[in-house]
Amino acid sequence: MHQNKGKTIAQCLTARTDYAMNPDKTKEHELISAYECDPHTADAEFLFAKRQYKAITGREQNHDVIAYQIRQSFKPGEVTPEEANRIGYELAERFLKGKHAFLVCTHVDKNHIHSHIIFNSTSLDCRRKFRDFLGSGRAVARLSDIICLEHGLSIIEQPRRYTHSTYDRWLGENAKPSNRDLVRKAIDDILAQKPADFAAFLDLLEKSGFSVKRGNRIALTHPDFKKAVRLRSLGDGYTEDDIRAVLSGEKQHTPRKRKNAPAPRKDSLLIDIEAKLREGKGAGYARWAKVHNLKQMAQTVNYLREHGLLNYVDLKQKSADASAHYSALSERIKSAEKRMAELAVLKTHIINYAKTREVYAGYRKAGYAKDYLCEHEGDILLHRAAKHAFDALGLKKLPTVKVLQAEYAELLAEKKAAYAEYREARDEMRALAIHRANVEQILGMAPTREDESIVKAEHPVSDDVRHMQF
């Protein structure tokens, strides 16, 4: 988090912490936790630590970093806001190792619950600064994944690497075309008309609204352009030599595709137009829905042909097999996650039991005295909780932490390996379910009805679709 131009460090810290602690986003400050600072005065405490750093070390900060922020998001529906806040606190605690004050503010104003973790760049002893080392972002992400897995939450298995890109490239097909894009489009349209020669090509360009500057380097101007566009600047396939070669038949023209083209249309269910009209939709919606259904029917027929599923019996069996395979993989992953959560809890109890054993032994020697209990209540409660957990599990001999870690690592590797197959099975199941539902709607079958007489009829889908009236 950097200092903004024209603002003091205090103003910047206040603005950042105020945004994170917005009462409308944090349930009136209920979802805020802090370490070694008061949330309401965190900006002032961070600033005071910076001044103390200067006084103690005599060093001046030579950059504009005032604090650091981690944003941790969760899959919708997986965690409660309170649990998300606790997980964020644990992440900051384990990453910073208690050396920096921090705030954890959990926001619930979006579909996905997320936490803003802000920590001071100056350490608590005011003698050091946090060093944003190479790969710190990846380290935070790995630690966050580990903590989420320990809590039985899902993670992004194969995150896409961030790459710098211009805004237009990020927009892809939705970006406003540049002047050169417009010229290329005009050239594509004119070459499709197959002009007789280069002179005829230039005449067609002028008729389409461009002014052609002839000379050693041909350039095009347009009333909407501020500058002329030279043919040689349009790239491969659009230079004067390339165009002449296309017109002479020596080369074939291939229109250039814009980068970041949109993904292919996804499969979707057919729309029940009559039901939508009964709900109050108008004639415009009905026209759009008819076109949508035609496109989806074509996609369904193509899918069935590509996968050799033109027989309804085969389609239904394939869909059932895919659903069973997906369910088996899902149960396998859930079973591994459940065991991993049990191992994490058991490991915590074993560590707590070992740490508090001497304290509890002293408690017994003291005859379970109330004074001793008041002095060591936290350790005694941890010891009792661990003992109760061992008794509930029926453990007579405790496993070592090393054995638990080895089993946990084995389960984690198994889960990661299963996830790739799980995603493929999920996508296949969804596609089959969608196309099967479309076929059943085309054939007038109830999608949820198990009618054996219809299943045995072996409807050839391609013929039925060909003769449907739309």
CATH of 9-150, one of 3.40.109.10, 3.30.70.1350, 3.30.930.30, 3.60.90.10: 3.30.930.30
- Structural contact between residues 354 and 419, judged by C-beta atoms closer than 8 angstroms: no
Measured at the CA of 230, the angle between CA 226 and CA 236, to 5 degrees, comes to 130
Distance, in Å, from the CA atom of 368 to the CA atom of 118, rounded to the nearest integer, reads: 43
Give per-residue pLDDT as tens, 59-78: 877 777 889 999 999 988 88
Tell me the H-state helices in 233-311: 240-247, 273-278, 283-306
Over pLDDT 90: what percentage of the chain?
A: 18
Structure tokens at 112: 């996905």
- CA distances (Å), origin 258, targets 163, 172, 229: 18, 7, 18
Give me Rg for the CA atoms of the chain. 33
pTM of the model: 0.40
pLDDT band at 164, cuts 50/70/90? Answer: low
pLDDT band at 453, cuts 50/70/90? Answer: very low
Distance, in Å, from the CA atom of 462 to the CA atom of 470, rounded to the nearest integer, reads: 15
Q: Is the pLDDT of residue 107 over 80?
A: yes
Strand partners of residue 230: 219
| pLDDT value of residue 255 | 86
Distance, in Å, from the CA atom of 159 to the CA atom of 347, rounded to the nearest integer, reads: 29
| pLDDT value of residue 163 | 56
Average pLDDT, the chain: 84
| pLDDT value of residue 344 | 87
Q: How many helices (H) and strands (E) does the chain have?
A: 16, 7
Q: Is the pLDDT of residue 181 over 80?
A: yes
Give per-residue pLDDT as tens, 188-246: 989 988 888 988 998 888 888 888 888 788 889 888 888 888 988 898 889 988 999 99
Distance, in Å, from the CA atom of 127 to the CA atom of 50, rounded to the nearest integer, reads: 9
- Total Cβ atoms within 10 A of residue 264: 7
Question: Could you tell me which residue, 286 or 454, shows the higher pLDDT?
Answer: 286
Structure tokens at 101: 């004050």
Strands (E), 62-205: 67-73, 102-107, 114-120
Give per-residue pLDDT as tens, 87-103: 999 999 999 999 999 99
| pLDDT value of residue 281 | 84
Q: Which of 418, 403, 405 is nearest to 150 (CA)?
A: 405
Per-domain residue ranges for the chain? 9-150, 176-247, 312-455
| pLDDT value of residue 168 | 57
Residue 192 has, within 13 A of its CA and on its CB side, a CA count of 8
Q: Which residues contact 292 (CB under 8 A, 6 or more apart)?
A: 271
Give per-residue pLDDT as tens, 370-426: 889 888 888 888 888 888 888 888 888 888 888 888 998 888 888 887 877 888 888
Distance, in Å, from the CA atom of 204 to the CA atom of 220, rounded to the nearest integer, reads: 12
Structure tokens at 179: 């002047």
| pLDDT value of residue 174 | 61
